[in-house]
Amino acid sequence: MPTAFIIGATGFVGGGIARHLISCGWQVRGLARSPTALKQLQDAGIDPIVGNLEHEFDAVLSASRAHDVTLYAAQIDPAAEQMTVARLLSGLADSRRNFIFLSGSGVLCQRTKGAWSADSFSEAEAFQPEPLAEQRAATERLVQAASKRGLRAMVIRPPQIWGPGDHGHVSMVYRSVSATGAACYVGNGLATYGHVHIEDVATLFVRATEVGEPGALYHGVAGEVPNRWIAEAVARDLGVPLRSISMEEAAAVWGDFGALIMSVSSRIRDASTRAALRWSPRYADMLSEIGEPRLRALAANVTTKE
């Protein structure tokens, strides 16, 4: 039975991958950094390992050494993330263990203020990192270089991940209805972010552990949907107006970081990954989420059609 230790198992992505692995017969343990996290893992059927990336690092490293594969899927401050990953890689050197770092296509997003970008990037293509993600890009390079230190280390760089319980672009547009009475997008609404379903990310992870090359970086994308198309679908679902907003208005609706996410273009290609890992996504239609009760609830402050 393969074993996995997931750092970030209480999150949407780490938890989704954990549940998939358990359904496939893996033994999965997750890092619990608080009593709340411990209970959350137990309720999800994930064996908890109590530890803390800052103050109980030895427990985290011991857990990594004891499992076939460690998945780093935590979302913490980029500087702390880089330091933590560097310590893990150093502690796992010459162990021949699998270490997979879950990054994201946000490292190469482009600030287009809502406009479309013709640029899309393959796994090996050079890019100028988004300023807020420069340390994340540096961490990717650290992981890839660790393959020269007796460690089977890889990077998976998916785009926007969607599925049950996600907090991505579709949910953000529903939230905009609650805030403004309209389904909103930024600028001309053609900014485009690639997307992939959480189940397909999980199968990509499994394929990387099975046949991935040490030092490799893998993409995984199922499609692209411009933000205006999302807003149009939400507007039809709720019977509310469609509205273009400025970056300043977007910050009032989603906060500064949310406004940035809803205004950038982040487009990737994954032909090399598909060929190397024999992977392809099963779920291609992110707009199939439209109409879900959990999403409609985000717009509950306005009157919608039945």
CA distance 84 to 182: 42
> Would you state the pLDDT for residue 306?
41
Residues 223-245 pLDDT 10s: 999 999 999 999 999 999 999 99
Is 152 a domain residue?
yes
Model confidence at 211, pLDDT cuts 50, 70, 90, reads: very high
The reply to whether 276 falls in a domain is no
Asked if residue 188 belongs to a domain, the reply is no
**Is 258 a domain residue?**
no
Number of domains in the chain: 1
Does the structure show a pLDDT above 90 at 298? yes
Decide if 135 is inside a domain: yes
Q: Is the pLDDT of residue 53 over 80?
A: yes
CA atoms of 248 and 177, how far apart (whole Å): 17
Assigned domain for 30 exists: yes
pLDDT given at position 8:
95
As given in the structure block, the two tokens for residue 98 are 């699998």
What is the Cα–Cα distance from 232 to 284, expressed in whole angstroms?
18
Q: What is the CATH number of the domain that holds 20?
A: 3.40.50.720
Evaluate whether residue 199 is within a structural domain.
yes
Which of 136, 279, 268, 257 lies closest to 202 in space, CA to CA? 279
Q: What is the pLDDT of residues 184-208, one digit of tens each?
A: 999 999 999 999 999 999 999 999 9
Please name the amino acid found at residue 162.
W
Statement: residue 301 has pLDDT above 90: no
Residue 24 lies in a domain: yes
Angular region, 174: left φ>0, alpha ψ -120 to 50, beta rest: alpha
Contact 176, 123 (CB under 8 A): no
From the CB of residue 294, how many other CB atoms can be counted at a distance below 10 Å?
Answer: 12
**Domain residue limits at 81:** 3-109+119-161+195-219
* pLDDT confidence band for 305 (50 / 70 / 90): very low
